[in-house]
Structure 1
Amino acid sequence: MPAVFLYIVIALLTLGIGLLLYLVFGLKSKLEKPVDDTSLKVMMEWMKDIKSGTEATRESMQKSIDDSKEHINARLTKAAEYIGELKKEMGGLTQIGPDIRRLSETLASPKLRGNFGEEILENMLAQVLPRSGYQTQHRFSNGEVVDVAIVTGERLLPIDSKFSMENFRLMIEAKEEAAADNLRKAFLRDVKKRVDEVRKKYILPQEGTHDFALMFVPSEGVYQEVIQDVSTMDYARSKRVIPVGPNSLFVYLQSVLMSLRGLQINRVAQQILDLVSAIKQESDKFASILGTLTNHIKNAGNTMSSVNQDFGKLQQHIHSASELQLEDTKEEIPEKVGSPE
């Protein structure tokens, strides 16, 4: 865009200069002829107007060119800053390379890889559960130690981190399909062995655990490869082991805890029903006793009414007897009683 402005300015300047030369030479040729003063003055004024207009156009074009140059310089400065930042970022990437290599070397060691998975598991649980809600490195009586045991009421939910990486890494790096398929089968066999370990070591209902456990796979890529194999998932379910990954751990925990909470509510509801049943039995006993007492009171009332009636009759007889009087008689009682002549 600035180059176009420059061409326009050059074209206008060339046109102005050409017109000026034309006017000067034309005026010179006219001056050689006798002309009157009025025509000369008009011609000079007209040339002044053209000159001033040309100067104004040149200044305007120069200002546009300067503004364009400033705009271009600002853009170039910003581009230079971006390039500098990009160089810094590229330098950071070169520093990240050794860190990635060291991490890869760390994950190559089974023990260090296990510690890495345990650390991830503990950090994730610490974000959602209180410290009293789980135990780390819980030891059973058989000497086995599970990474985490979540406290769910009177029971423990074991979670152990398993990181089968060797054959998985080789499967990813394999360039031939047949080799990759064989390595995938070997990787899935490794996963089933980890399932057997969790089933044997950590599902111990006699020591207060639930009859199932979670197997935490710290790598989401490894976990996705596990759950996509139907036979492996069926095998894990048959062993009462549930594989979980970083993105699904919280979902499974929430489902398990809600299920356990439902079982707890059912137990409490059953206890309430048993209590209500006992109260009903006591209520029935009380109702029977109360009925018997009511009958006794009713019979006593009837007997009392009969007694009151008999007593009323007795009172009347007594009253009648109290009003009785002996009558006086004028017959003399003989002194002796003899036999008749």
Structure 2
Amino acid sequence: MTVEALIAFLAATHVDIAGVPLSGAALVAIGLAALLLLLLIRVWRRLRALRADLGVDLSGEGRIETLLRSQAEMAGRLQSMADIMGSRQAEMTRTLADRFDGLSSRIGQSLASTTDQTHSSLSALGERLAVIDRAQSRIADLAGDIGRLQDILDNKQTRGAFGEARMQAIVADALPASAYRFQSQLSNGKRPDCLVLMPNKAPPLAIDAKFPLEAYAALKDAETKDAEDFALAKLRRDMDVHIRAIASKYLIPGETQDTAFMFVPSESVYAEIGEKLPEILQRAYRARVVIVSPSLLMLSIQLVQNLLKDARMRQEAGRIQTEVRHLAEELGRLDERVGALKTHFNRTGRDVDEILTATRKVMQRADRIETLPFQDEGGAVPRPATYTSS
């Protein structure tokens, strides 16, 4: 057993003796006192045995002196032994106290660390539980949405409205409002679900969103091979009828494009048709009806969007060319006016040169007049007259 284990055992031990509670340290002190008493008894017995072996017969004063000397020696030994035991007991007490303090400090630190770790773990657990609760609520909302979608798909009218709404969302998100029309009437009285207006006054593109999903739903619900074959044949027949109806109603020469779109509102349905009914795709192509999924319709609409952008760019380019032509005409007129202004500047420069020439001649004549020798009768040059104010 290690010292730490012994200290922990003594600290945790409590004994009741005659109704008096004693701790482990008190029990150790009692044990040490009992051990000291046993040692004294053993010393006394050893002295008696030694006296019996030596045969010493002490009497009178000699016996008393011997007893006193033996008693003194025994007292000294007992005193030294008591001192040793006292120092050992004090040292053990200090050691136990130090060990108890260290153990209490470590236990306190361990408890504090454990409390912090537990608190942080509980906090992290609470955050994760909150995330799980949010995810669970989202899953519940998604399950509700899936249930509502299933209800929509189970009803024929709402299923048709769902496909039409999805097609309208794709078209409206990609094209400006002036580039399409919903439920617009043609010359034969038919109303396609959407007409995409093409640039450069080209005929519009007709889109139909009423895909027959009843047979597909029966195909997905089929549990036997015969039921699957029956549903597949019904889906083939319904799609063939719908393709012929689109071609007869929405392909009008000169009024619409020579190709129409049949919108399938699900990628999985389109993939199922391409896998199990590839002949239907070929038949629709020969009838000039293109079966498109949401992603294919989006790509087609983006192509139309690029064509519209190209048409607008060409229109703007023509307008820019017109403006550039007008700008060139204005530059020609500006060049004529600058030429005329240059001519005026040249004429003004010649006039200024002539004025400067005349000014120099006048200055030369004034200099000559000033240097003429004017003399009086006495031969002296008269001074200029000086006028005084009266």
TM over 0.5: yes
The offset of 1:231, in angstroms, is 0.8
> How many Å separate the matches in 2 of 1:257 and 1:189?
35
Which residue number in structure 1 is paired with residue 323 of structure 2?
none
SS in 1 for 2:207: strand
Distance 1:75 1:177 in 2: 56
| Runs of at least 5 residues in structure 2 that lack an aligned partner in the other structure | 14-23, 40-77, 316-390
SS at match of 1:158: strand
Q: Which residue of 1 aligns with 2:216?
A: 168
Distance in 2 between residues matched to 1:14 and 1:172, nearest whole Å: 74
Which residue number corresponds to residue 14 of structure 1? 9
* Greater CA drift, 103-112 or 91-100: 91-100
Match of 2:156 in 1: 110
Show the 5 A alignment for 1:146-165: 146-153=192-199, 154-155=201-202, 156-165=204-213
Rate the CA distance shift 1:46–1:243 in 2: closer, same or farther, 3 A: same
Out of 29, 33, 44, the residue aligned to residue 28 of structure 1 is 33
State how far apart, in whole Å, the 1-side matches of 2:35 and 2:93 are.
14
**Deviations 1:113-142 (CA, angstroms, capped at 9, x unpaired):** 222222111111121111111111121110
2:234 corresponds to: 186
Task: State the match for 1:135 in structure 2.
Answer: 181
Q: Is the 8 A contact 2:175 2:301 kept in 1?
A: no
* SS class of match (2:240): helix
> Equivalent residues in 2 for 1:117-132 (5 A)?
117-132=163-178
Q: Does the C-alpha gap of structure 1 residues 67 and 177 become closer, same or farther in structure 2, counting only changes over 3 Å?
A: farther
Structure 1 length-normalised TM: 0.62
Structure 2 CA distance, aligned partners of 1:133 and 1:214? Answer: 16
Instruction: Determine what percentage of the aligned residue pairs are the same residue.
Output: 25
- Paired residues of 2:206 and 2:260 also in contact (CA < 8 A): yes
Distance 1:11 1:109 in 2: 82
Cα RMSD of the aligned pairs, angstroms, is 3.9
CA positional deviation for 1:37? 2.2
2:9 partner letter: T
Query: Could you tell me whether the CA contact under 8 Å between 1:244 and 1:252 is conserved in 2?
Result: no
Gap regions ≥5 residues in structure 1: 1-8, 269-341
Change (3 A) 1:193 1:11: farther
For the residue of structure 1 that corresponds to 2:254, the secondary structure is helix
User: Does structure 1 retain, via aligned residues, the 8 Å contact 2:167–2:263?
Assistant: yes
Taking structure 1 as reference, are residues 47 and 151 closer, same or farther at Cα in structure 2, changes over 3 Å only?
Answer: same
Q: Are 2:252 and 1:204 aligned?
A: yes
Cα separation, partners in 2 of 1:12 and 1:136, compared to 1, 3 Å: farther
Residues 186-195 or 135-144, more deviating? 186-195
Report the counterpart of residue 292 of structure 2 in structure 1. Answer: 244
Query: Is 1:50 aligned with 2:71?
Result: no
Q: Deviations over 1:39-78 (max 9, x none)?
A: 5224412331222223322342244245435544654566
CA distance in structure 2 between the partners assigned to 1:87 and 1:220 by the alignment: 32
Aligned pair in 2 of structure 1 residues 144, 67: CA closer, same or farther (>3 Å)? Answer: same
The letter for the 2-side match of 1:225 is E
Deviations 1:96-126 (CA, angstroms, capped at 9, x unpaired): 7666555434333333322222211111112
Query: Partners in 2 of 1:238 and 1:96 — Cα distance?
Result: 41
Instruction: Report the structure number with the largest CA radius of gyration.
Output: 2
